[in-house]
Amino acid sequence: MHGYQVTFFTQQNRRYQGKMLADWLVALAKEMHLRGATLVSGIEGFGHTGKLHSYHFFELADQPMEVSLVLSEEECTRLFERLQQEDFALFYVKTPVEFGTLGKQAGADTAC
């Protein structure tokens, strides 16, 4: 199947509707019945302003976060239309991909 891998980049201290923005994105993906979403916390990074964002032992608020999804074209269109309705700015990368499932348990819900 062909579609897109979409990765959103944010920081742990960004909040939206009372939740960490990254958690809100994962919950939205679930609410929209998308294929899945993966939340990854980073150690260190910097954005377009050049400001360093990093994980510190005593202060986790500025920790970089990524939410990654693999979507069909239709799912991607629905997600982006929904996100346009929200009141925040969010950097993303959208890459065309081929995806599918391999193996004997192809139809089963496996942890991959």
Per-residue tens of pLDDT for the chain, all 112 residues? 999 999 999 988 889 999 999 999 999 999 999 999 999 987 666 666 776 555 555 555 567 899 999 999 999 999 999 999 999 999 999 999 999 999 987 655 554 4
CATH value of 2-98 in 2.140.10.10, 3.90.380.10, 3.30.70.120, 3.40.1160.10: 3.30.70.120
pTM of the predicted protein model:
0.79
Residue (of 52, 46, 49, 57) closest to 9 by Cα position: 46
